[in-house]
């Protein structure tokens, strides 16, 4: 990178996560990678203790769990948050947000903070690229530098196909990495399955539509991603990962069998359509075929840790020394 300009990544509600063991830290690394490609310079991850005014531009990142209009704060509105709000408001350069739309003026109103936030924020979208990773929250784990990403947390493959992929993915992309289905296996397939042939059910419910809709996207190159192995049932899952107050539906054996059938159907589809396929390394699983806890994020979660992302060598390990 030849440019000498400095871009900082900041957060007001919380500092951008840095750990390579957390899903939130993974999102920071993805935004960092996308921004460095867009602006051809290093992006520095900053905290409230750093001098934001040394930067020509700031990127706001409130984290992977932030949703528009939801301001959930542990410990309430602290002095630290107010100080960062003031720093952002007084910043003289350009402020950009890649994530969910955030309105700090609305935040002040909802939290009854006497503060006039006037800083203009410019929005860039992570999915407005000719190369795209599309999927649910697990899509972060197959992000590849040079690609955009459209992350749809909590969305099932069934839901994506019901809406129609062409309603959410631009046609004619140069490359598409498509990853969804883990949520369907965890919560829904065994709730809805009433037959006696799981392969036929998956073909009729998912794969016939998936094949047709991927064709209609008319992408130059498509890569599909195998589903993850199922972790041991002792894994604790946060409330955000629950459905109907349960962490999963079906036994480990039942869900593992679905993953095996699903992944075999993915392989068949890739052969038929000349798509590429991402397969997770065998070392991610233990001797019983269970997803190892050590490749998942450190705290309770369903996600892989950034150090286990498929393309981690290309941006997680390469960039982690520059996070601090």
Q: Kindly report the number of other CB atoms within 10 A of residue 18's CB atom.
A: 15
Do 180 and 304 lie in one domain? The reply is yes
- For residue 129, report the phi and psi dihedrals to the nearest 5 degrees: -140, 160
Name the strand (E) or helix (H) holding 254: helix 252-273
pLDDT at 324 over 60: no
* Residue pair 12/85 in contact by the 8 Å Cβ criterion: yes
Distance from C-alpha of 196 to C-alpha of 140, rounded to nearest angstrom? 34
Q: Give the burial class of 20: count Cβ atoms within 10 A of its Cβ; 0-12 exposed, 13-18 middle, 19 or more buried.
A: buried
* Residue pair 213/169 in contact by the 8 Å Cβ criterion: no
> Residues 66-96: pLDDT tens digits?
988 888 787 789 999 999 999 999 999 999 9
Number of domains observed in the structure of the chain:
2
Do 106 and 170 lie in one domain? The reply is no
pLDDT at 57 over 50: yes
> Residues 121-174: pLDDT tens digits?
998 888 888 999 999 999 999 999 999 999 999 999 999 999 999 999 999 999
Tell me the sheet residues that pair with 43.
7
> Quick one: pLDDT band at residue 237, thresholds 50, 70, 90?
confident
Structure tokens given for 278: 């991402």
- Give the pLDDT mean for 59-65: 93
Structure tokens given for 108: 């002040």
Do 211 and 260 lie in one domain? The reply is yes
What's the pTM value of the predicted model, to 2 decimals? Answer: 0.93
pLDDT at 318 over 80: no
- For residue 179, report the phi and psi dihedrals to the nearest 5 degrees: -145, 110
Domain stop point among 104, 126, 148: 126
> Quick one: pLDDT band at residue 270, thresholds 50, 70, 90?
very high
Gyration radius (Cα) of the chain, Å:
21
Residue 4 pLDDT: 62
Domain stop point among 78, 106, 126: 126
Residue 321 pLDDT: 44
Residue 322 pLDDT: 46
* C-alpha neighbours within 13 Å on the C-beta side of residue 46: 25
Residue 322 lies in a domain: no
Do 201 and 244 lie in one domain? The reply is yes
pLDDT at 279 over 50: yes
pLDDT at 225 over 80: yes
Tokens 């030849």, residue located? 2
Residue 44 pLDDT: 94
> Quick one: pLDDT band at residue 244, thresholds 50, 70, 90?
confident
**Secondary-structure breakdown of the chain: helix, strand, coil percentages, each rounded to the nearest 5:** 40, 15, 45
Do 76 and 158 lie in one domain? The reply is no
Identify the sign of the CA torsion 152, 299, 84, 47. negative
Q: Give the burial class of 136: count Cβ atoms within 10 A of its Cβ; 0-12 exposed, 13-18 middle, 19 or more buried.
A: buried
Domain stop point among 126, 155, 182: 126
Residue 205 pLDDT: 97
Structure tokens given for 306: 């950034």
pLDDT at 1 over 80: no
């Amino acid at each position: 990178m030849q440019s000498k300009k400095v871009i900082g990544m900041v957060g007001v509600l919380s500092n951008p996560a840095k750990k390579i063991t957390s899903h939130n830290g993974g999102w920071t690394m993805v935004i960092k990678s996308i921004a460095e490609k867009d602006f051809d310079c290093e992006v520095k991850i900053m905290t409230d203790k750093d001098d934001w005014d040394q930067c020509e531009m700031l990127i706001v990142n409130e984290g992977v769990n932030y949703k528009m209009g939801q301001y959930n704060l542990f410990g309430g509105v602290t002095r630290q948050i107010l100080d960062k709000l003031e720093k952002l408001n007084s910043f003289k350069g350009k402020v950009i947000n890649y994530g969910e739309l955030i309105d700090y003026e609305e935040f002040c109103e909802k939290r009854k903070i006497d503060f006039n936030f006037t800083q203009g924020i410019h929005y860039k979208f992570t999915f407005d690229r000719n190369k795209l990773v599309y999927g649910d929250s697990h899509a972060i784990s197959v992000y590849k530098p040079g690609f955009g990403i459209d992350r749809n947390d909590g969305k099932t493959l069934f839901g994506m196909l019901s809406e129609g992929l062409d309603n959410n993915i631009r046609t004619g992309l140069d490359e598409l990495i498509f990853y969804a289905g883990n949520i369907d296996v965890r919560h829904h397939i065994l709730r809805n399955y009433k037959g006696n042939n799981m392969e036929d059910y998956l073909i009729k419910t998912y794969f016939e539509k998936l094949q047709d809709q991927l064709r209609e996207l008319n992408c130059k190159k498509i890569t599909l991603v195998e589903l993850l192995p199922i972790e041991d049932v002792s894994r604790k899952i946060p409330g955000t990962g629950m459905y109907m107050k349960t962490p999963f539906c079906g036994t480990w054996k039942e869900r593992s069998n679905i993953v095996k059938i699903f992944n075999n159907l993915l392989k068949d589809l890739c052969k038929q359509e000349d798509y590429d396929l991402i397969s997770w390394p065998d070392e991610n699983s233990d001797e019983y075929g269970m997803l190892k806890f050590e490749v998942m994020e450190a705290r309770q979660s369903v996600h892989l840790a950034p150090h286990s992302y498929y393309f981690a060598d290309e941006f997680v390990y390469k960039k982690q020394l520059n996070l601090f």
